[in-house]
Structure formats: structure tokens, C-alpha cells
Structure 1
Amino acid sequence: MIPSRMHQFLHDALPDLIWKNRLIKDGPFRFLEFGPLDVDRLQRLGIKVDRLGPRLVSCMWNDESPVEIGGFLVVDNLAMGQPSMGGTRMLPDITPDTIHNLARGMTLKNAAADLPFGGGKSGIIRPENLSKEDRYEVIKGFARLLRRYKKMYIPGPDVGTNDADMKTFAIENGLNNVVSKPADMGGNRIDELGGAANGIVVATKALLEQLPRLKQLPQFKNLIIPKPSDLDIIIQGFGAVGANVARLFHEYDQDNCPVIKGISDENGYLLNSKGLPWKQLFDMWKKVGAVTQKYFHDHILHNKTPDLNRMVFSNSCNNLLTESAFCMIPASPVFNYLDVDASSNPAMTTDRMGTWQIIVEGANTYSPNPARKAERKRMERHVYRDKGVLIATDYLVNSGGVIYAAHERIIPTPDHLLIPKDILGNSTAIKGWLEKNRDEFETLAERRRKAAVEKLETVIRRNMKELIDGLCKDADSLPCEIAEQISVQRIASMEKSRTARDVMENAPTIGVDKNMTDAARLLVDAHAPIVNIVSENGKLIGIVTNWDITKAMASNLPMDSPLTRVMTADVITNHPDATIIDCIRKLEHHEISAMPIVEENKVVGFISGDILARQTLFRLLQTMKP
């Protein structure tokens, strides 16, 4: 059944006419789909269409399941490549605008990581009091809903889901239609390996090398940069990202390990100026999750570890951000960890923040919402310009997870290891089949891991260099502005390289010996704005449009009139290798809505303003400099 919160939200947001006209029924599954032309409808869902997207928003649910199964999918942008890639979040308060914000973050993150995938995200509305058995049914049911979009979107784990859930997705939809699978499926196990955390570690190391260049800016002229071994760090959010950051800092370069000075989780924070016992805390986190309060109770309160007398514990987790360190890493699922005042309900206000020199964002903080972007810029003006704290924007640095995940597609599963179609959905049969091919899958997983680590090191170091380049080049710019420029320029570069061949649709054609009725019927059947009139050998000799038919009828021409009486013989065309921007300019220059795409005198497709609006980032291309 549709989740009750989803039912209430959608019925409040969308009028009955939209339900009547847009609801898609496929067996027990229900879908409400919206694209970039549905500006008003998306506004009702809290989503503002802009120059980057979204490409698709789907509200989907199972109408017949005994347990509530439903949620949202947003494919924001496909300029970098198709399909899009992004995690599946599972929380009780999921809304379309939340998923859109995350999908836009994935658009920028995949571009920053230079990956051939668009940005997408999905969210499951988690029912209350969900049992283990019902949770499995929800995961499996949502996988079946996503099956409709497997050519446009590949899911991975996110808040509320894990690598094991991705195994369930793979059992339902196939190995190549999900990422971050377990090793027995050849997966890269984002959570287990700490993919996102690895990006944070590499970014921090790279920034220490790049920071001297910032001394040319007035707010950084007195910057003192510590040796790597003297670097002290506080981590807000000791979870899948934060805990692995602590681990990987010590595995990455054991001779130059930083000091993990403080950590926080939902129960409080721990601080020790001499350094926390990160290994002990990491092992405890793997067993029990939240560690701060338990560690305090077991090791400090009863004085079992007397050498920890410098340890501080507070049950106010946000107050970790009042403590000072060279580097602060926000890694909890909080959008606004910092703001200039309390009006946006941040974790901490800037007047109470500790003294830091760099912030490396492990959490997803980006939002395309204009109000939130304004809040972000306001915060950065105070923290970056006034306080001299460099902020490394989330999608430039925490893309390690998506890099790991992407290599499950970049290095595809060999055909002989793909799950046979006749056992898809049969977990017992698939378990035996995976065991049979265990060694090959483990080899494949290791090959993907090594390739991902190499890519991550290269891309994130480049991002840090380009971030510092941009800030030094334009002293008035903010880190969030430079970060967005880096990603958008990569997206625009990919979009500029796309051609008519990439987006054109099949062109309806008709012989010159047919009449006006035949052309009108074809226009209706093909749902196309033009019909191409061709000679016996297939050469284009004219077109007929909806307007031509309407004008002929208004002139009282008989419907059996030959096409030569109504067609346009002087046809504006383009070729398959024409760029998207060239197609836009030609349509605008000749004030036409559609044109045939011709190759070697044969019609191979057509382009229209509607196609360009639905399938390209024409708004972005029109704003970019030639």
C-alpha cells in the first residue's frame, strides 16, 4: 500500500486532475512522473526547475502490498552520462525536494569526480515500527519499483540502507543495476571499505600541500601550516564516514598520522587534546554503533583507564564544534552544521565555533534551493572571508564512495558472471550460484577496488588544486562558488560535446504519393510535430507539420489533397553530428519548432524544441560563453 505520509503529502500537493491524467498503473505498481517541462507541478512538490534539471521526478508505490512500500526517485541530470548514479535513502520523513537536493549533489559530485554518470537519488519512506521481516519486504518491493528506471538510474547505499540491501536490489534487478554490492557479487562495499572517508583523507592531505598558496590572500597571510604528524582533527559524526576517516588517516600514512582530537555522535562528544584512542573507538563503533556515551561509562566514569584523565565527555554532541583544531570534518547527516545565527537551526553558530583553519566536508551539505544557497553564502562570507577558514565543499572531497561504486560499472561484470535471468528474484538459487563463482567474484572485486583507489587519488587531488587555483585567481569568490564552477564547467563541457545523434527521435516518414489525410493520421499516431515526405528511394523532399494541416483545413482544401499542395519543400535540416547548441541556434534563427536530421540524403531522425527541453541542458548551454 502507499505509505500514509506519502499519500497525505501527494494529495495535499497535487490537484485531482493531475492524479487523473498522470497516474501510471503497471500491475500493483503506481507511478506519477514529471519532467523538466512540468515546472508548476514540480513547484507543487517543492522542486524548482533550473538550468541543470531535474530530468525526471517519479513518485512511486506498490498499491497492493500489505506493508507500506513507496518513495521517490529523482534523476537530476544525465549530461555526464547515462545512467545516473546515487544512493537510496530510507527515512520516515522523505520528501521529493529532499531527494532532489541530494540528486543535485550527485550531479555535481559525479562531475567533480569526472565519472561518466549522471546524478540521481532515491528515497524510501520508512514505515513506523518496521520489523526485520517487513524491512526486507520494503527493500525488495522498492527494488521492483526501481526496475522501471534501470536504464536511467543505478542505486547504491545511503542513510538508512546498507551494502546488504544492495545485494537484495541485485537479486531482484541484476548485478549491473546496482552498486556497492558485497564482495561475493564483485562489489566495492562502500560502507565496509570506507569509500567516502578515503576521499576526505586524500583531500585533507592534498590541502596541506596546497595551503601555502593561500597566503597571498589577506585572511590567510598569517596561516601556520602544521606538519602532517602535528595535524589535529575533530570529527562531527563518528559513523560510516567519520569512523572510517579516523581509521584511514592512520592506514594511509602510518609515519605521519594526525591526532584525532575529538569525535561526536548522537549521544555526545569525546575530546582529548593528546589524541583519542581511535582504534579502540573504531572497533567499538563496529560492534555497537554510537560510542561516546558508552566509552565514557565503561572507561572513564569508573576510572578503568586512569591514563585518560585528560578525556572530556559531554552529552551535547553539537558542542564539539566549540572546540578548536586545525581541521574540522563534518560527517554527520546534517545539512547546515554551521550558520551565522540560529534562525536556520544549525548545529553551531559562527560566534561560538572553535578556532579552525580548514573544514573538509564529509557530510552532504549542498542544496539547489535558493534560500539555502543564500544561507550557505552568508555562512562562508563570515567563516572564509572574515575568520580565514578554508572550506572544502562536500562534493569536491567526499566523492570517494561514488568513485568506488562507479567502478562496478566502469569495470563491468563479465557476461558469464551475470545472474541468469531465470533465477532473478530467487535468493536461494542465486546464493548457490554466487558460491559456485565465489573466487572469480572476489578477484573482480579486488580489481575494481584497486582501480577506484587510483582514480580517487588523482581526481580529488586535482579538485583541491582547482579549488585553490580558483580562490587565488578571484579573491572575492567563495569556496562554494568555485566548487560549483568546477563541476558545472565539466557538465557543460560534456553537454557541448553531445550531438543531434544523441538526442534525436525516430522521424515519421510518408511517401510523396500519399494525401493529407494520411499525413494527419501519421502525425497523430506518431505523436510527432512533423512528418517527413520522401521519394521512392528515401530522399527527403518536404515536410508537413500540424500547422500545415490546420492551415489547409482553414483554406477548405479537401483532405484527400496531395501532399505536394501542403508540404514545405524548402526544408531546414541538420546532420547527426551537429552539436546541441547548433541545433538550438538553427531552430531559433529560422523560428521553427522542429527539423529533420539528415545523413546521406536519408532522414535518420528529428529534433524539436520539446526534445531539446526534455533531453538536454539547453538552458545551461545558452548561458555559457562560446
Structure 2
Amino acid sequence: MSTQYVDNFADDIGPIKILHIYKPKSQLRGIVVVDNLAMGPAAIGGCRMAPDVSTREVFRLARAMTLKNAVNGLPYGGGKSAIVGDPKSDLKETWMREFARAIRDLKEYIPGPDMGTDEQCMAWVHEEAGRAVGLPYSKGGLPLDELGATGFGVAVASDAASEWMQLPLENARVVIQGFGNVGRAAATCLLERGVHVIAVNDSDGGLHNPDGLNIPELFRWVQTRNLNRATHLGEPMERDRVLEIESDIFVPAARPDVFTEANQHLLKTRLVLEGANIPITHEAARVLHDRGIMVIPDIIANSGGVICAAAEYEGKTEDQAFDAIRKSVYRNTTALLKRVRERKQYPHDAALQMAREVLSKKMGLYAST
């Protein structure tokens, strides 16, 4: 058996490059994975910042981007990066700028915002490396988090799924795990469809109101105070208690592997819209499906962010970006559900097959050039 490091990750798709960055003075620790470039000459993928992020996690996220870009027909490969550190650190700007300088010549990777980073971070990256997506308006960009592009796509997926499942969105009970940029945008867009968001959480704790949380007021509250101290809006609870609240729709919008085979039995819902990347292991997703819970996988449900990023990079307008999100996410969600019903496939297997069908054709062309 080979003991080469890359063999821990390598398969028939990639990755084609794994880069580690270290700066002793600032203690910057960075990871970049370019997984596959069959769809285009450069890979688009977010740069996250977290103290416990690992190379394996970045690889898995880069693979998700490869598949996501393929299933959406975007002319970009899949990549991802991470900075190992606390996003609340005073060194954040230093780390971002040093990271950007380190990848300046890695032209095949285009970074964007992700968990722990935002449009200001991408402005710093662009100043140092000359490229980034998810830039502020002042830099000519389409700020993904401010626009709520990923959350908007999650809501579009709910439109398609509700029709197929005969699950009315009006008065549907929604639980959102992760009340960050994606979770907040998803909450806003789903509220427009008449749902009741009954529980949310973040890293500090959770909040539950069976009659529906006042989301606009909660937005204002969390700007300066902890979410689980908003006792006038709902009942505080421990962070992971949100995984057990019964709902009609559950939106995981935080870290990977929230549900595994070991804890999937806690989830009591009808529909899962994966707002985060790789929030449920494939094994757990299969068990959930067998239990009658429909899961719309990440590469379809949360693709609004990268569609918007691609539109920005190509100089398109906000309206064009959101029109592309609406069409692509609705089309792919419908196609997925049709395969699940007609071919008796598990949702994650169907989504993977949809992406691989596109990717394999491109890889054949790519390999022959």
C-alpha cells in the first residue's frame, strides 16, 4: 500500500494540487486544495477561517465545489482554502493579506468568502493577489453575504421541493442550524414564502419559539448580543438541542458533518435543505431517506453563492446573477427529485451522478487536449 500523502485523498477526479502555507512570525497556517480543472482553467471556491479546520475538510469542500460547479454548468473548476485560526483574532487582516500574497502566483485558484470570512476579507485578498470574488460594492463586486445569494438559492430549492413533496411552505415549521450569513439569508427568503422559523442556533446557543421567532428583531439583537439571551423572543436552549426540534423543514447552515449515522435519529423533519457544505455524511443521508426524510444535497441547494460569484467574475449584474440562481437551482432540484422518484436513487447518489455525467464529458475533452 502506498504511504504517499496525496493517496489519502486521490481518486479519479483529483485533487490536482494541495498547498500548505506557513508564516512563522504571524503564525499563519493556510491550506489550499485545487481539486479539478476540467470545467475551466481556474477553480472558484471560498476561503474559510476556523481554528479546527483540517486538510481533509478542505479537500472535501473542494470536491463539493468541483461537483457543484459541474452540476450547474459553470466554467470553473473546484477549489477551496482555509486559514487555521480564530476569525475574531486581531491578526485576521494580517493573515488574509499574507495568505493572498502566498497564493498570488496560484492563478488556477480564485478565492471567495466562506465561513469566518467576508467581503472585506476578499477586498484585502484582491489588493494583494489581484483576484477574488464576493467583493464589496465599492470594489465593483457582488458581495455574496450581503446579497444573501446562497440563502436565496436554498429558498428556491424549497420552492421546487414543496411542489414535488406536496409540502406547502405557508405555515411550514422551519429550523435553521447556524444563524450566520447563509442561515440568516435563508430565514429571510423563507419568511417571504410564509414559513414560521421556530428555532435557530449559533456557536453560543439556540433559541426556540414554537409559534415562530421574530426574525427581523432577532437580526437586530444579534448584532450586539448573544442569540440565546434573546429571552423576549423565545426559549434559550443548548446549541445542539436545535437538532432535535421537530419541524417540516430543516436547514443545516453551519459546519460539516452535523449529522452522522450516530446521531441522525435525532432529526425529526420532512425536508432537509443543505445550506452548508457537506453538513450530513452520505451514510447518514441514506438512513434519513429510508426514514422518509427528503434531503436536497449541498451541491444543488446551496449553489447560489458560487453562481453569484461566477456572475461577478464575468462582469454580470446582480439581476443577472439572481436570475441564474433561480433558474439553475430550480431546474437541478426538480431534476434531482425526478431521479429519486423514477430511478429509486438516494438523493446524494443522484446529485453525484448528475455532476459526474457533466464532469466525465469535460474530463474526456480535458484529457485529450
| TM > 0.5 fold call | yes
Q: Report if the CA contact (8 A) 1:265-1:290 is conserved.
A: no
Q: Report if the CA contact (8 A) 1:194-1:244 is conserved.
A: yes
CA distance 1:263–1:78, shift in 2 (3 Å): same
CA distance 1:103–1:164, shift in 2 (3 Å): same
Alignment partner, residue 201 of structure 1:
155
Q: Report if the CA contact (8 A) 1:238-1:290 is conserved.
A: no
Alignment partner, residue 145 of structure 2:
191
Paired with 2:162 and 2:328, the residues of 1 have a C-alpha distance of: 16
Task: State the TM-score, normalized to the length of structure 1.
Answer: 0.56
Deviation at 1:409, TM superposition (A): 1.7
Deviation at 1:498, TM superposition (A): 3.7
Deviation at 1:40, TM superposition (A): 1.5
CA distance 1:284–1:70, shift in 2 (3 Å): same
Alignment partner, residue 263 of structure 1:
200
Deviations 1:375-418 (A, max 9, x none): 93432332211x2110111111101111111112222xxxxxxx
Paired with 1:62 and 1:340, the residues of 2 have a C-alpha distance of: 38
Paired with 1:392 and 1:332, the residues of 2 have a C-alpha distance of: 16
Deviation at 1:92, TM superposition (A): 2.7
Paired with 2:265 and 2:160, the residues of 1 have a C-alpha distance of: 29
Paired with 1:402 and 1:181, the residues of 2 have a C-alpha distance of: 13
Deviations 1:137-180 (A, max 9, x none): 22111110010202x01001112221101101111122xx1100
Paired with 1:496 and 1:402, the residues of 2 have a C-alpha distance of: 24
Paired with 2:164 and 2:218, the residues of 1 have a C-alpha distance of: 31
Paired with 2:118 and 2:149, the residues of 1 have a C-alpha distance of: 13
Q: Report if the CA contact (8 A) 1:157-1:165 is conserved.
A: yes
**Higher relative contact order, structure no. (Cα contacts within 8 Å, ≥ 6 residues apart):** 2
Alignment partner, residue 13 of structure 1:
none
Q: Within 5 Å, which residues of 2 pair with 1:148-159?
A: 148-150=105-107, 152-159=108-115
Q: Report if the CA contact (8 A) 2:87-2:116 is conserved.
A: no
Paired with 1:194 and 1:106, the residues of 2 have a C-alpha distance of: 18
Q: Report if the CA contact (8 A) 1:68-1:127 is conserved.
A: no
Deviation at 1:128, TM superposition (A): 10
Larger-Rg structure:
1
Deviation at 1:494, TM superposition (A): 2.1
CA distance 1:245–1:127, shift in 2 (3 Å): closer
Paired with 1:409 and 1:135, the residues of 2 have a C-alpha distance of: 25
Alignment partner, residue 328 of structure 1:
250
User: 15, 19, 28: which is aligned to 1:58?
Assistant: 19
Answer yes or no: is 1:169 the counterpart of 2:118: no
User: 274, 277, 282: which is aligned to 1:361?
Assistant: 274
Q: Within 5 Å, which residues of 2 pair with 1:27-66?
A: 40-43=4-7, 47-62=8-23, 66=25
Paired with 2:225 and 2:305, the residues of 1 have a C-alpha distance of: 20
Alignment partner, residue 398 of structure 1:
302
What is the letter of the counterpart of residue 322 of structure 2?
A: V
Task: State the TM-score, normalized to the length of structure 2.
Answer: 0.93
Deviations 1:534-562 (A, max 9, x none): xxxxxxxxxxxxxxxxxxxxxxxxxxxxx
Equivalent pairs counted in the alignment come to 368
Q: Within 5 Å, which residues of 2 pair with 1:470-619?
A: 470-475=339-344, 477-498=345-366, 500=368, 502=369
Alignment partner, residue 9 of structure 1:
none
User: 453, 476, 482: which is aligned to 2:322?
Assistant: 453
The percent of aligned pairs where both chains have the same amino acid is 29
Deviation at 1:465, TM superposition (A): 1.2
What is the letter of the counterpart of residue 119 of structure 1?
A: G
What is the letter of the counterpart of residue 313 of structure 2?
A: R
CA distance 1:140–1:377, shift in 2 (3 Å): closer
CA distance 1:378–1:294, shift in 2 (3 Å): same
Answer yes or no: is 1:312 the counterpart of 2:223: no
Paired with 2:264 and 2:122, the residues of 1 have a C-alpha distance of: 39
Answer yes or no: is 1:110 the counterpart of 2:69: yes
User: 337, 341, 348: which is aligned to 2:258?
Assistant: 337
Deviation at 1:48, TM superposition (A): 2.0
Paired with 2:259 and 2:346, the residues of 1 have a C-alpha distance of: 16
User: 67, 74, 77: which is aligned to 2:33?
Assistant: 74
Secondary structure at the aligned position of 2:105 is classed as helix
Secondary structure at the aligned position of 2:122 is classed as helix
Alignment partner, residue 210 of structure 1:
164
Secondary structure at the aligned position of 1:179 is classed as coil
Paired with 1:94 and 1:272, the residues of 2 have a C-alpha distance of: 32
Paired with 1:294 and 1:161, the residues of 2 have a C-alpha distance of: 25
User: 283, 292, 299: which is aligned to 2:220?
Assistant: 283
Alignment partner, residue 336 of structure 2:
467
Alignment partner, residue 171 of structure 2:
230
CA distance 1:110–1:290, shift in 2 (3 Å): farther
User: Which stretches in structure 2 are left out of the alignment for 5+ residues?
Assistant: none
Question: RMSD of the alignment, in Å?
Answer: 2.2
Paired with 1:450 and 1:376, the residues of 2 have a C-alpha distance of: 34
Secondary structure at the aligned position of 1:149 is classed as coil
CA distance 1:452–1:283, shift in 2 (3 Å): same
Paired with 2:250 and 2:225, the residues of 1 have a C-alpha distance of: 21
Q: Report if the CA contact (8 A) 1:74-1:122 is conserved.
A: yes
Paired with 2:302 and 2:248, the residues of 1 have a C-alpha distance of: 19
Deviation at 1:127, TM superposition (A): 7.4
CA distance 1:234–1:467, shift in 2 (3 Å): same
Q: Report if the CA contact (8 A) 2:50-2:87 is conserved.
A: no
Deviations 1:436-490 (A, max 9, x none): xxxxxxxxxxx52111101101110111111112112222x21111111111111
User: 174, 185, 188: which is aligned to 1:244?
Assistant: 185
Deviation at 1:201, TM superposition (A): 0.6
Structure 1 moving runs of 4+ over 6 Å:
none
Paired with 2:46 and 2:266, the residues of 1 have a C-alpha distance of: 34
User: 83, 93, 103: which is aligned to 1:146?
Assistant: 103
Paired with 1:118 and 1:499, the residues of 2 have a C-alpha distance of: 14
What is the letter of the counterpart of residue 292 of structure 2?
A: G
What is the letter of the counterpart of residue 472 of structure 1?
A: R
Secondary structure at the aligned position of 1:228 is classed as coil
